[in-house]
Amino acid sequence: MAKHGFLDVLEAALDKHFTYDYELNWDKKNHAVELAFILEAQNVAGIETVDDEGNASSEDIFLEEYVLFYNQDKSRFDEEDYLVALPFDAKKGFSAEFLTYFASFLKDTADQGLDDLMDFLADPEAQEFAIAWDSEAFEKGRADLAEGEFYPYPRY
């Protein structure tokens, strides 16, 4: 695992705890790792929805969300593009315990987001839907972690 640092540990944690389709993209130039995942909901009633780019559709919904792990000293990005952006120190990286906790918390967040999306589709009065990251709950759980070995940002 040391060869690729925290990426291998993150992928193992996601494979074990996260039940949605996902993709990891390592942006070496920007010293960041982007995690993309998809929520899928059947739009049985054929309700017309409009995405954030103004495209209307009454098809099934595929909502792609993004999480960013970034180098706090080197990465550049627009925070609004991400559900959450988590900083790391390149030499320290993340612990296996943190990455396991993250994968589990992300699954819970995605589960809640999917439930909220289904409620949105069922409510003709609903105007808007967005998945929410509960930073306060995440940080509270993170504070309770007993972290062991840390895995650094991968080298290439």
| 113-138 pLDDT, tens digit each | 999 999 988 888 888 888 999 999 99
pLDDT bucket at 146, cuts 50 / 70 / 90: very high
Torsion of the alpha carbons at 130, 87, 96 and 65, rounded to the nearest 10: 20
> Which tens digit of pLDDT belongs to each residue from 42-90?
888 787 888 778 888 888 888 999 999 999 999 999 999 999 999 999 8
Structural domain boundaries in the chain: 6-151
Percentage, residues of the chain above pLDDT 70: 97
Residue range 14-35: mean pLDDT, rounded: 96
CA angle 81, 100, 119 (to 5 degrees): 55
Q: Domain 6-151 adopts which CATH fold?
A: Rossmann fold (3.40.50)
DSSP string across 52-78: TTS-EE-S-EEEEEEEEEEETTT----
For tokens 């792990």, name the residue. 69
